[in-house]
Amino acid sequence: MEHENQGAVNSTNKVWFITGASRGFGRIWATAALERGDKVAVTARNLASVADLQEKYADNILTLELDVTKLDQVEKAVKQAHQHFGRLDIVFNNAGYSLVGTIEEAAIDEVKAMYDTNVYGPVAVIQAALPILRKQGYGHILGTSSNLGHVVLPVIGYYCSSKWAFEAIHESLAAEVKPFGIKVTIVEPGAYATEFGSQESLKFAAGMVEYTDFKENFFEGLRNLERGNPNATTEAIFKIVDSENPPLRFFLGSHNLPWVRTAYAERLASWEEWAPISNAAQG
Protein backbone atom coordinates (compact mmCIF):
# COMPACT_ATOMS: atom_id res chain seq x y z
CA MET A 1 0.00 0.00 0.00
CA GLU A 2 1.29 3.46 -0.92
CA HIS A 3 1.39 5.73 2.09
CA GLU A 4 1.97 9.44 2.33
CA ASN A 5 4.70 10.90 4.55
CA GLN A 6 4.47 8.87 7.74
CA GLY A 7 6.73 11.34 9.52
CA ALA A 8 3.81 13.76 9.70
CA VAL A 9 2.25 11.73 12.47
CA ASN A 10 5.17 12.58 14.75
CA SER A 11 5.38 16.24 13.81
CA THR A 12 5.10 18.86 16.51
CA ASN A 13 2.37 20.73 14.64
CA LYS A 14 -0.58 18.43 14.25
CA VAL A 15 -3.67 18.87 12.11
CA TRP A 16 -6.97 18.39 13.94
CA PHE A 17 -10.55 17.96 12.75
CA ILE A 18 -12.95 18.61 15.64
CA THR A 19 -16.73 18.40 15.65
CA GLY A 20 -18.90 20.26 18.14
CA ALA A 21 -16.27 22.95 18.65
CA SER A 22 -18.59 25.89 19.30
CA ARG A 23 -18.63 25.43 23.07
CA GLY A 24 -17.63 23.18 25.95
CA PHE A 25 -14.78 20.72 25.60
CA GLY A 26 -14.68 21.06 21.81
CA ARG A 27 -13.98 24.77 21.96
CA ILE A 28 -11.51 24.43 24.85
CA TRP A 29 -9.51 21.72 23.10
CA ALA A 30 -9.60 23.46 19.72
CA THR A 31 -8.40 26.71 21.26
CA ALA A 32 -5.63 24.96 23.20
CA ALA A 33 -4.43 23.17 20.06
CA LEU A 34 -4.36 26.47 18.16
CA GLU A 35 -2.49 28.13 21.02
CA ARG A 36 0.27 25.55 20.87
CA GLY A 37 0.65 26.12 17.13
CA ASP A 38 -1.35 23.21 15.73
CA LYS A 39 -3.71 23.56 12.80
CA VAL A 40 -7.39 22.92 13.42
CA ALA A 41 -10.46 22.41 11.27
CA VAL A 42 -13.09 23.72 13.65
CA THR A 43 -16.62 22.63 12.88
CA ALA A 44 -19.88 23.92 14.28
CA ARG A 45 -23.52 24.00 13.24
CA ASN A 46 -23.39 27.81 13.38
CA LEU A 47 -20.23 29.45 12.03
CA ALA A 48 -20.99 32.65 13.93
CA SER A 49 -20.23 30.74 17.14
CA VAL A 50 -16.60 30.24 16.09
CA ALA A 51 -16.06 33.51 14.18
CA ASP A 52 -13.87 34.89 16.96
CA LEU A 53 -11.52 31.92 16.62
CA GLN A 54 -11.30 32.51 12.88
CA GLU A 55 -10.28 36.12 13.47
CA LYS A 56 -7.64 35.27 16.07
CA TYR A 57 -6.06 32.19 14.48
CA ALA A 58 -6.60 32.93 10.79
CA ASP A 59 -3.43 31.21 9.56
CA ASN A 60 -3.94 27.94 11.43
CA ILE A 61 -7.70 27.54 11.46
CA LEU A 62 -10.37 26.45 9.02
CA THR A 63 -13.94 26.97 10.20
CA LEU A 64 -16.55 24.72 8.65
CA GLU A 65 -20.31 24.51 9.02
CA LEU A 66 -21.22 21.01 10.06
CA ASP A 67 -24.29 19.29 11.39
CA VAL A 68 -23.09 15.72 11.90
CA THR A 69 -26.58 14.38 11.21
CA LYS A 70 -26.31 15.56 7.60
CA LEU A 71 -24.18 13.09 5.66
CA ASP A 72 -23.50 15.41 2.74
CA GLN A 73 -22.11 18.04 5.13
CA VAL A 74 -19.94 15.45 6.87
CA GLU A 75 -18.30 14.23 3.66
CA LYS A 76 -17.82 17.78 2.39
CA ALA A 77 -16.29 19.05 5.65
CA VAL A 78 -13.81 16.18 5.98
CA LYS A 79 -12.70 16.57 2.37
CA GLN A 80 -12.36 20.35 2.71
CA ALA A 81 -10.25 20.02 5.83
CA HIS A 82 -7.95 17.50 4.16
CA GLN A 83 -7.61 19.57 1.02
CA HIS A 84 -6.93 22.74 3.00
CA PHE A 85 -4.25 21.35 5.33
CA GLY A 86 -2.92 18.51 3.19
CA ARG A 87 -3.36 15.86 5.89
CA LEU A 88 -5.40 14.92 8.96
CA ASP A 89 -3.56 13.74 12.05
CA ILE A 90 -6.41 13.82 14.55
CA VAL A 91 -10.12 13.29 13.90
CA PHE A 92 -12.01 14.18 17.07
CA ASN A 93 -15.74 13.42 17.36
CA ASN A 94 -16.99 15.70 20.11
CA ALA A 95 -20.52 16.70 19.06
CA GLY A 96 -23.32 15.36 21.23
CA TYR A 97 -26.15 16.16 23.61
CA SER A 98 -28.25 14.53 26.31
CA LEU A 99 -31.92 13.64 26.23
CA VAL A 100 -33.43 14.12 29.68
CA GLY A 101 -36.39 11.92 30.50
CA THR A 102 -37.25 8.53 31.93
CA ILE A 103 -37.45 5.51 29.68
CA GLU A 104 -41.23 5.78 29.62
CA GLU A 105 -41.37 9.54 29.04
CA ALA A 106 -39.10 9.95 26.03
CA ALA A 107 -40.71 9.65 22.61
CA ILE A 108 -39.13 7.26 20.11
CA ASP A 109 -38.48 10.12 17.69
CA GLU A 110 -36.58 11.98 20.42
CA VAL A 111 -34.41 8.93 21.08
CA LYS A 112 -33.73 8.51 17.37
CA ALA A 113 -32.76 12.18 17.01
CA MET A 114 -30.26 11.89 19.85
CA TYR A 115 -28.76 8.76 18.32
CA ASP A 116 -28.43 10.60 15.02
CA THR A 117 -26.10 13.08 16.73
CA ASN A 118 -24.40 10.93 19.36
CA VAL A 119 -23.90 7.68 17.42
CA TYR A 120 -24.65 7.86 13.70
CA GLY A 121 -23.04 11.29 13.27
CA PRO A 122 -19.67 10.16 14.67
CA VAL A 123 -19.86 7.01 12.54
CA ALA A 124 -20.39 9.19 9.45
CA VAL A 125 -17.31 11.27 10.34
CA ILE A 126 -15.23 8.15 10.89
CA GLN A 127 -16.32 6.59 7.61
CA ALA A 128 -15.55 9.82 5.74
CA ALA A 129 -12.10 10.12 7.32
CA LEU A 130 -10.90 6.52 7.11
CA PRO A 131 -10.02 6.50 3.38
CA ILE A 132 -7.82 9.54 4.01
CA LEU A 133 -6.17 8.07 7.11
CA ARG A 134 -5.59 4.71 5.41
CA LYS A 135 -3.88 6.38 2.49
CA GLN A 136 -1.70 8.38 4.87
CA GLY A 137 -0.83 5.23 6.79
CA TYR A 138 -1.44 6.96 10.11
CA GLY A 139 -3.98 8.96 12.07
CA HIS A 140 -5.65 9.12 15.44
CA ILE A 141 -9.42 8.94 15.87
CA LEU A 142 -10.72 10.25 19.18
CA GLY A 143 -14.26 10.40 20.46
CA THR A 144 -15.80 12.10 23.46
CA SER A 145 -17.77 9.52 25.39
CA SER A 146 -18.44 9.68 29.14
CA ASN A 147 -17.98 7.72 32.34
CA LEU A 148 -21.65 6.97 31.59
CA GLY A 149 -20.35 4.69 28.86
CA HIS A 150 -19.72 2.21 31.70
CA VAL A 151 -22.26 3.07 34.37
CA VAL A 152 -25.84 4.28 34.14
CA LEU A 153 -27.95 6.93 35.81
CA PRO A 154 -31.75 7.08 35.72
CA VAL A 155 -33.52 9.91 33.87
CA ILE A 156 -30.70 10.10 31.30
CA GLY A 157 -30.72 6.41 30.48
CA TYR A 158 -31.04 6.98 26.74
CA TYR A 159 -28.01 9.26 26.79
CA CYS A 160 -26.08 6.58 28.70
CA SER A 161 -27.16 4.01 26.12
CA SER A 162 -25.81 6.17 23.30
CA LYS A 163 -22.42 6.23 25.03
CA TRP A 164 -22.44 2.47 25.54
CA ALA A 165 -23.02 2.14 21.78
CA PHE A 166 -20.31 4.73 21.14
CA GLU A 167 -17.85 2.72 23.23
CA ALA A 168 -18.61 -0.56 21.47
CA ILE A 169 -18.23 0.98 18.03
CA HIS A 170 -14.87 2.51 18.88
CA GLU A 171 -13.51 -0.65 20.48
CA SER A 172 -14.39 -2.63 17.38
CA LEU A 173 -12.96 0.15 15.20
CA ALA A 174 -9.65 0.10 17.09
CA ALA A 175 -9.08 -3.56 16.21
CA GLU A 176 -10.13 -3.08 12.59
CA VAL A 177 -7.90 -0.09 11.79
CA LYS A 178 -4.79 -1.01 13.78
CA PRO A 179 -3.26 -2.79 10.75
CA PHE A 180 -3.45 0.52 8.85
CA GLY A 181 -1.45 2.38 11.50
CA ILE A 182 -4.53 4.22 12.80
CA LYS A 183 -5.03 4.71 16.54
CA VAL A 184 -8.30 5.06 18.44
CA THR A 185 -8.96 6.63 21.83
CA ILE A 186 -12.26 7.02 23.68
CA VAL A 187 -12.15 10.05 25.99
CA GLU A 188 -14.45 9.55 28.98
CA PRO A 189 -15.09 12.72 31.01
CA GLY A 190 -16.78 12.69 34.37
CA ALA A 191 -18.76 15.69 35.63
CA TYR A 192 -17.27 19.00 34.48
CA ALA A 193 -18.40 22.59 34.65
CA THR A 194 -18.97 22.96 30.91
CA GLU A 195 -21.94 24.15 28.89
CA PHE A 196 -23.02 20.52 28.47
CA GLY A 197 -25.68 21.12 31.10
CA SER A 198 -27.00 24.18 29.29
CA GLN A 199 -30.29 24.35 27.39
CA GLU A 200 -28.35 24.08 24.11
CA SER A 201 -26.85 20.74 25.13
CA LEU A 202 -29.93 19.23 26.75
CA LYS A 203 -33.29 18.25 25.35
CA PHE A 204 -36.15 17.43 27.67
CA ALA A 205 -38.83 14.84 27.08
CA ALA A 206 -42.37 15.74 28.11
CA GLY A 207 -42.78 14.93 31.77
CA MET A 208 -45.23 12.53 33.40
CA VAL A 209 -46.60 13.35 36.83
CA GLU A 210 -45.79 9.83 38.02
CA TYR A 211 -42.06 10.61 37.83
CA THR A 212 -42.10 14.16 39.22
CA ASP A 213 -40.81 13.33 42.70
CA PHE A 214 -38.25 10.85 41.42
CA LYS A 215 -36.81 13.36 38.97
CA GLU A 216 -36.74 16.17 41.52
CA ASN A 217 -34.64 14.00 43.83
CA PHE A 218 -32.40 13.04 40.93
CA PHE A 219 -31.79 16.65 39.86
CA GLU A 220 -31.11 17.65 43.47
CA GLY A 221 -28.36 15.05 43.57
CA LEU A 222 -26.86 16.40 40.35
CA ARG A 223 -26.86 19.95 41.69
CA ASN A 224 -24.67 18.83 44.59
CA LEU A 225 -22.22 16.98 42.33
CA GLU A 226 -18.63 18.18 42.41
CA ARG A 227 -17.59 19.28 38.93
CA GLY A 228 -14.10 19.46 37.48
CA ASN A 229 -12.45 22.40 35.74
CA PRO A 230 -12.68 21.78 31.98
CA ASN A 231 -9.64 23.98 31.32
CA ALA A 232 -7.54 21.53 33.35
CA THR A 233 -8.09 18.80 30.74
CA THR A 234 -6.04 20.18 27.87
CA GLU A 235 -2.65 18.79 28.94
CA ALA A 236 -4.16 15.33 29.30
CA ILE A 237 -5.55 15.51 25.76
CA PHE A 238 -2.16 16.63 24.44
CA LYS A 239 -0.43 13.72 26.19
CA ILE A 240 -2.84 11.33 24.51
CA VAL A 241 -2.50 12.71 20.98
CA ASP A 242 1.29 13.04 21.33
CA SER A 243 1.73 9.48 22.62
CA GLU A 244 3.11 6.72 20.45
CA ASN A 245 0.89 4.27 22.30
CA PRO A 246 -2.27 6.07 23.43
CA PRO A 247 -4.89 4.21 25.46
CA LEU A 248 -8.09 2.91 23.91
CA ARG A 249 -10.00 4.33 26.89
CA PHE A 250 -9.05 7.33 28.99
CA PHE A 251 -10.90 8.71 32.02
CA LEU A 252 -10.95 12.49 32.40
CA GLY A 253 -11.26 13.34 36.06
CA SER A 254 -10.58 11.69 39.40
CA HIS A 255 -14.08 10.40 40.22
CA ASN A 256 -14.56 8.01 37.32
CA LEU A 257 -12.32 5.10 38.27
CA PRO A 258 -13.70 4.61 41.82
CA TRP A 259 -17.28 4.71 40.52
CA VAL A 260 -16.64 2.29 37.66
CA ARG A 261 -14.54 0.01 39.87
CA THR A 262 -17.46 -0.28 42.31
CA ALA A 263 -19.98 -0.87 39.52
CA TYR A 264 -17.91 -3.64 37.96
CA ALA A 265 -17.30 -5.28 41.33
CA GLU A 266 -21.07 -5.40 41.87
CA ARG A 267 -21.61 -6.89 38.41
CA LEU A 268 -18.94 -9.54 38.94
CA ALA A 269 -20.38 -10.43 42.33
CA SER A 270 -23.83 -10.91 40.82
CA TRP A 271 -22.50 -13.02 37.96
CA GLU A 272 -20.50 -15.13 40.40
CA GLU A 273 -23.54 -15.61 42.64
CA TRP A 274 -25.61 -16.88 39.75
CA ALA A 275 -22.76 -18.80 38.07
CA PRO A 276 -23.98 -22.32 39.02
CA ILE A 277 -27.35 -21.65 37.38
CA SER A 278 -25.67 -19.97 34.40
CA ASN A 279 -23.32 -22.93 33.96
CA ALA A 280 -26.14 -25.43 34.21
CA ALA A 281 -27.89 -23.62 31.39
CA GLN A 282 -24.98 -24.46 29.08
CA GLY A 283 -26.48 -27.92 28.57
Concerning whether 159 is annotated as a catalytic residue, the answer is: yes
Q: What are the angstrom distances between the C-alpha of 247 and each of 67, 178, 203, 204, 231?
A: 28, 13, 32, 34, 21
Concerning whether 163 is annotated as a catalytic residue, the answer is: yes
Contact between 58 and 40 under an 8 Å Cβ cutoff? The reply is no
Instruction: Catalytic residue, from 145, 146, 161, 162: name it.
Output: 145
Instruction: Catalytic residue, from 159, 162, 183, 192: name it.
Output: 159
Instruction: Catalytic residue, from 14, 22, 115, 163: name it.
Output: 163
Concerning whether 211 is annotated as a catalytic residue, the answer is: no
Spatial CB neighbours of 208, under 8 Å, sequence gap ≥ 6: 102, 104, 105
Query: Which residues are known to be catalytic?
Result: 145, 159, 163
